[in-house]
């Protein structure tokens, strides 16, 4: 079963003997007088494998009993040695965590499970979390490799064609699954989704909009939506999870980067950073040594790179003009 679309199921379910014991007085009689048992949800313990996993703190937990039962969750699969898309995925989910704030670990739970448990020990997972400045409430887990594969299949996050690709043995499905186990609502999402949209789905939609808004907003005060350039669209989806202007993030501050770096170097860095690291480019190595996270290859075309550089040059100019105007007003 692939959880590739929104699935609705009965919100009030239990399992096995506990189900019959707890709901015995609620059994319904049909028009023939026979006893009809309440319908079970298909998304209970009879569906999810209740495998044992180990947290980054070395604690053993059960997947169903401890991690997802009656909870709203976001689950993805990574491996810490990935120098491709896993860093982007983790950085984007870190943005979602920042938007949700202290709700993560309270009424929204985030789990990243390793697909390379032989390497990703609890201590390795802890160091990985530190690199991305992961806050409380987001748990990283490892465990038995075969059991984790079974779990990925059940969650619809295991694609045989990708996993059995001998030319790319470390490739894996990048989608994540979010859901409310109690209500049976599950959906597959892209980890590169707009973080505010993903945070709203986790914090509002999956909670049936039960949480009262912090304030009432008037649509008349909503700002006009401006058209963004192709370069800005690329920057928002590929770069903003790790980089910003004016301060370091997961990656380096990009303020005036188009002036600080040679354009030919920057062009190649955007297009094939993995090759430059493999070739031990001095600047590439210094960046890696400082931030400890490899720049991933984002599969940008030459046109994509030009669009992004144009946006970055424009952003540098805009910020410089804003700074000058502010200084003149003082």
**pLDDT tops 70 at residue 278:** yes
Summarised one tens digit per residue, pLDDT across range 186-199 is 999 987 788 999 99
Give the strand order in the sheet containing 109-114.
Answer: 60-62, 52-55, 138-143, 109-114, 72-78, 176-180, 185-189
**pLDDT tops 50 at residue 211:** yes
DSSP 76: E
Q: What is the CATH number of domain 52-207?
A: 3.40.30.10
The answer to whether the CB of 207 falls within 8 A of the CB of 107 is: yes
The answer to whether the CB of 270 falls within 8 A of the CB of 287 is: no
Summarised one tens digit per residue, pLDDT across range 306-330 is 999 999 999 888 888 877 766 666 5
CATH 1.10.760.10 fits 231-329, yes or no: yes
Structure confidence at residue 7 as a pLDDT band (50, 70, 90): very low
| Nearest one of 98, 78, 83, 103 to 249, comparing CA atoms | 98
Q: Which of 33-37, 60-64, 247-251 has the highest mean predicted lDDT (pLDDT)? A: 60-64
Mean pLDDT of the chain: 82
CA distance 127 to 15: 38
**pLDDT at position 12, please?**
34
**pLDDT at position 245, please?**
86
The answer to whether the CB of 307 falls within 8 A of the CB of 234 is: yes
Under DSSP, is residue 110 helix (H, G, I), strand (E, B) or coil? Answer: strand
Instruction: Cite the residue boundaries of each domain of the chain with CATH code 1.10.760.10.
Output: 231-329
Own/partner pairs for 128-131, CB < 8 Å, 24+ apart? 128/80, 128/90, 129/56, 131/250, 131/291, 131/292, 131/293
**pLDDT at position 38, please?**
46
First to last CA, the chain: 63
**pLDDT tops 70 at residue 289:** yes
Mean pLDDT, to the nearest integer, of 213-220?
Answer: 60
Q: Residue 16 contacts by C-beta under 8 Å, 6 or more apart in sequence?
A: 45
Structure confidence at residue 173 as a pLDDT band (50, 70, 90): low
**pLDDT at position 236, please?**
85
Instruction: Cite the residue boundaries of each domain of the chain with CATH code 3.40.30.10.
Output: 52-207
Kindly list the distances between the CA atom of residue 221 and the CA atoms of 216, 224, 228, 239, in Å, as whole numbers in the listed order.
11, 9, 21, 30
Q: Is the whole-model pTM more than 0.95?
A: no
């Amino acid at each position: 079963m692939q959880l590739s679309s929104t699935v609705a199921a009965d919100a009030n379910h239990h399992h096995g003997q506990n189900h019959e014991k707890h709901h015995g007085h609620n059994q319904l009689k049909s028009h023939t007088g026979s006893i009809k048992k309440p319908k079970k949800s298909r998304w209970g313990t009879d569906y999810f494998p209740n495998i044992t996993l180990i947290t980054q703190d070395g604690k053993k937990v059960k997947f169903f009993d401890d991690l997802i039962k009656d909870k709203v969750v976001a689950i993805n699969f990574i491996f810490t040695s990935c120098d491709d898309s896993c860093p982007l995925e983790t950085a984007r989910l870190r943005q979602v965590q920042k938007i949700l704030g202290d709700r993560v670990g309270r009424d929204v739970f985030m789990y990243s499970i390793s697909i390379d448990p032989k390497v990703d020990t609890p201590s390795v997972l802890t160091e990985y979390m530190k690199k991305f400045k992961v806050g409380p409430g987001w748990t990283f887990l490892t465990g038995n490799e075969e059991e984790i594969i079974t779990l990925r299949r059940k969650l619809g996050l295991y694609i045989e064609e990708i996993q059995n690709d001998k030319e790319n043995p470390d490739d894996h499905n990048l989608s994540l699954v979010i859901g409310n186990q109690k209500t049976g609502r599950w959906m597959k999402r892209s980890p590169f989704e707009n973080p505010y949209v993903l945070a709203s789905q986790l914090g509002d939609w999956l909670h049936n909009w039960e949480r009262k808004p912090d304030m009432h907003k008037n649509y008349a005060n909503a700002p006009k939506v401006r058209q963004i350039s192709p370069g800005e669209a690329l920057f928002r989806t590929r770069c903003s999870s790790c980089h910003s202007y004016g301060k370091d993030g997961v990656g380096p501050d990009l303020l005036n980067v188009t002036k600080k770096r040679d354009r030919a170097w920057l062009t190649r860095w955007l297009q094939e950073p993995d090759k430059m690291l493999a070739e031990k480019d001095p600047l590439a190595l210094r960046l890696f040594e400082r931030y400890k996270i490899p720049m991933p290859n984002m599969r940008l075309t030459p046109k994509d790179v030009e669009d992004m550089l144009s946006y970055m040059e424009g952003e540098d100019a805009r910020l410089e003009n804003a700074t000058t105007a502010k200084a003149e007003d003082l």
